[in-house]
A and B are shown apart, each in its own frame.
Chain A
Amino acid sequence: MSKAAKPDHFESHFGLDDAVLQRVIASAMQRGGDFCDLYFQQRTSNVIGLEDNEVNRAFRSVGVGVGIRVVQGDATGYAFSEELEESTMHEAATAAAGIAAGGGGKAPHDIRASETRDLYPVATGWGEVTVEQKLPLLTRINERAFAADSRIQKVRVRLSDGEAHVLVVDSDGRKAYDYRPMVVLFAQCVAQDGDRREENYHNVGGRLGFDYFDEAVVDRVADEAVRRTLLLFEAVRPPAGEMPVVLAAGSSGILLHEAIGHGMEADFNRKGISIYADSIGKPIAEPFVSIVDDGTVPASRGAINVDDEGNPVQRTVLVERGVLRTFMHDRISAAHYGVEPTGNGRRESFRHAPLPRMRSTYMEAGPHAPDEIIRSVDRGIYAVSFTNGQVQIGAGDFTFYIKTGYLIEQGKLAAPIKDVNLIGNGPQVLRDVTMVGSDMELDQGGWTCGKDGQSVPVSLGMPTVKVKAITVGGIG
């Protein structure tokens, strides 16, 4: 457990003992409802930035509050309070209770603390790390990037860190506490070659502490930012149209996140609006394709010791040897389908109600040798780094943007390519995964997923994979 973790944090700082919690829960359940939960969160985040050779800007943000949710069937009443005074919490509880249609008077359960995992212990919380300690990380990257190549014109570096104390209590008597660190180190370069200008970036993040950032890690951020920027001078826009695409191991997991991830969130499926709604138990890919969403990968952005509804977190198999197995559930969807929650109930903050969200989404390693995969393509592209993606879960159309990659010509990597969007149809692309490499890699980038106006940190991963055909947004 982290030294900064304090399971009694809210009781000792705000007087929130079990008696207070029970009174607020009773308030929330005054008009009935299947259950209610209280989500307490105290969060601090810091950003410091280097620009034009100086670490001369910072942004600090602090806040605390509670989100109160009452659920009846699949209906949600929600209100939050930014003050942890009992009277204000009762007001929020009463507002959330408005969703319920009479009943009330359920006997309270005794409150019992739940066991939670310990996936991201940090020796020193970010609250204890001073600006003076952080400065050398940024200045080292700045110096190293400029020294790497005379074409580098500008370097920007940003260190974003944060910590949160979270406490979830529900009307079934469950109480779970978590201490959550998070950090992203980001470096961006602008380079000039003749009259051409290019920019690119690299970042590394996770539920990590300050001691993670040794010289090797910091130097790699600088080297990758420089390499990815300079590569763009040699890069061309690929041809337009459908072609085979080989995805490099690692961050190409964004394809999974968009092609199947959102479509497997159980809320979309119980509403019948996802293209996967009728596909549980059906084969949707080759038998060497297995895809999981895993909340237990230690220290990853997508790791959570307990979900934001207080449910235990697990590794959830979405696709097992080609067959669609399980949606990602929150409590509402799990009840709808008559299954156990999968630990996917997440929320951006106490101001937001939880929804089924992804955690670390990746494809398991497969039977093929990675270089055999590239050799199998006569004309296509090899996609290496990505910036973002999006999906329409009903039509199944999804996109992801390739920042860098290569043309493949006669089974070999040829000219670099850049700045191209790929678009495909989720179920079709999964059927079209014809080779899966033995080299699964979980990417360490600072990925963030947005849904319904709220963002959560996630991770993604892939082995080297070949998709028979995807539409490449190129030229000509």
Chain B
Amino acid sequence: MDDRLADLAQLTMEHALKRGAKEAAVGVSRARFVDLKRRAGKTEKLQASTSRGLSVALYVDGRFSSNATSLLEPAALRDFVDQTLAMTRMLAPDPQRYLPDPALYGPTGGVALDLVDPGYDALEMDGRHRRVTEAEDAARAESEAIISVTAEMVSQSSESLQMHSNGFRGEHAATSYMLGSSVTVRDAGDRRPEDHHWAVSRHLGDLPGAGQVGREGAMRALRRIGSRKVQSGEMTMVVENRAAGRLIGSLLEPLAGASLQQRRSCFEDKLGQPLASELLTLTDDPLIPRGLGSRLFDGEGLAARPLPVFEQGRLLSYFIDVYYGRKLKMDPTTGGTSNLVLATGEHGPDELMAQVGSGVLVTGFLGGNSNPATGDFSFGVRGFLIEGGKPGQPVGEMNITSSHTTLWPRLCAVGNDPYPYSSMRMPTLVFEGVQFSGV
């Protein structure tokens, strides 16, 4: 961690306590990134910058606020603390706001998560140009029907330090790379369907080849040609691994401590109950090496450990942070997700579709929303009709409408293909009897 930033964090902490804060939590961070976009045979955009920030949570006279600044020199930081202390003192007291019990803090080192690519600074601009050029060329070569290809590579190196006045101190560092292609193709009339493929990893060597990234984006877009909406009805839904994260994300909202305490959760008082089919075993696992959500401690400094959320359909844990845990009189688990892992099945998507026979393969969601108090949701979808066990006619301009209380008991198959390019490492999921609306 940059010494200068660490010193500024220390200065901020000392000043806050000197000025009357009973407790404080200070975080500093620095992120460097490079973003290169290529289109139509040349560079479209090149952006490179470094960003720094400091956050400070103040606990003063029984009152709480959290604050952030990017004005990082000592006089400005002291002024910022003075202003925010004055502001905080005008709020109402909150007896549940105080730092976590230090017993909840865990070791902040010693586990090798391997989140930093030591070769990060060795990647030159030439290497970036080479990759986006290869991706664009490979995508273009797939078909004359391609109107536009944008290939992009983003790399980021970040580090952060968090310190609490009751003894917590933790550092975190990570690198990430993203390589992707977005492709638009010509269809009938004015239609120009688009699709994309993005690969994300912590180490450069884990990215797939640029040519492959380009080809995959192109092939996905080409498969959208001829898409139309079909008849409404209840059908078996196969959700592609890269799309399944949307459903899980919506499922998690009512499981958050804030949702439960504010009574906007359809899963209140449901711990231990079967809410899904036995195929749902879902774990939040912060300790996966090179994981895109991996960390040694959460946002409150709590020691990171795997959290079983669902086990064979039974709800085992909520996401309870320290503050709402006190209000709910529940032990904290963690206030935020890290890597979400769903226990995989034996078969890949092709075999699952062969078993399904007829239904819809959903490859992407579009808009829509969900209601955490009732579990109701309605999402736009696009994908393919499954006929004779294979994906065929592309479909779109359709919705699925259901509720989490109805959907998850109908989970009838899980694939063996966890999606590697997200902290949501979902496999293909198959649900029976899902309401599709179309014509």
Contacts and interface: CB of A to CB of B under 8 A. Distances in A.
Interface of A: 46, 48, 51-52, 54-65, 74-82, 92, 95, 98-99, 130-132, 135, 153-154, 156, 190, 192, 196-199, 237, 240-242, 258, 271-279, 351, 353, 387-401, 403, 418-425, 427, 471-476
Given A76-B45, A241-B232, A392-B194, A57 B401 contact: no
Contacts of B369: 387-388, 401, 403, 419, 421
A74 B42 CA distance: 10
29 contacts: A48-B91, A55-B91, A58-B66, A63-B70, A63-B71, A75-B42, A76-B47, A131-B87, A131-B90, A190-B264, A198-B373, A199-B372, A271-B39, A272-B184, A275-B192, A390-B367, A392-B194, A395-B194, A397-B396, A397-B397, A419-B370, A419-B374, A419-B378, A421-B367, A421-B368, A421-B401, A423-B366, A424-B397, A471-B437
Given A57-B94, A60-B67, A64-B71, A395 B396 contact: yes
Nearest to B44: A75
Given A58-B87, A395-B192, 11 more contacts: A78-B45, A92-B49, A190-B373, A192-B263, A198-B373, A199-B264, A353-B47, A393-B194, A401-B369, A419-B378, A423-B380
Interface string B378-396: 1110100000000000001
B206 to A, nearest CB: 23
A135 B72 CA distance: 30
Chain B interface helix/strand/loop/mixed:
strand
A198 B371 CA distance: 8
B264 A423 contact: no
B399 A473 contact: yes
Contact of B88 (A58, A240, A271): A58
A401 B52 contact: no
B266 A197 contact: yes
Nearest to A73: B42
B55 to A, nearest CB: 9
Contact of A240 (B68, B224, B397, B437): B437
* 8 shortest interchain CB distances as A-B pairs: A473-B399, A399-B367, A390-B367, A240-B437, A131-B90, A421-B378, A394-B192, A399-B380
Centre residue among A258, A395, A403 by max chain B CB count within 10 A: A395
Chain A interface helix/strand/loop/mixed:
strand
Given A59-B66, A99-B46, A190 B263 contact: yes
A186 to B, nearest CB: 14
Given A48-B91, A75-B45, A272-B184, A279 B398 contact: no
Centre residue among A46, A54, A61 by max chain B CB count within 10 A: A61
Contacts of A65: 70
B15 interface: no
A420 B262 contact: no
Contact of B91 (A56, A196, A390): A56
Contact of A62 (B64, B70, B377, B398): B70
A79 B251 CA distance: 38
Contact of B366 (A98, A99, A397, A472): A397
Contacts of B46: 75-78, 98-99
A353 B35 CA distance: 12
Contact of B191 (A61, A395, A418, A475): A395
A425 B188 CA distance: 14
Nearest to A139: B92
B317 to A, nearest CB: 22
A135 B376 CA distance: 34
A241 B231 CA distance: 8
A425 B367 CA distance: 14
A99 B372 CA distance: 47
Given A56-B92, A64-B70, A197-B266, A399 B366 contact: yes
B400 interface: yes
Contacts of B71: 62-64
Nearest to B382: A397
B378 A401 contact: yes
A241 B94 contact: no
A353 B46 CA distance: 10
B192 A272 contact: yes
Interface string B52-87: 100000000001111111111000000010011001
Nearest to B42: A75
Centre residue among B92, B327, B436 by max chain A CB count within 10 A: B92
A274 to B, nearest CB: 7
Nearest to A258: B367
Contacts of B92: 54-56
A388 B366 CA distance: 11
Contacts of A56: 63-64, 91-94, 97
A62 B90 contact: no
A390 B400 CA distance: 15
Contact of B399 (A278, A421, A427): A421
B48 interface: yes
Contacts of B194: 273, 392-395
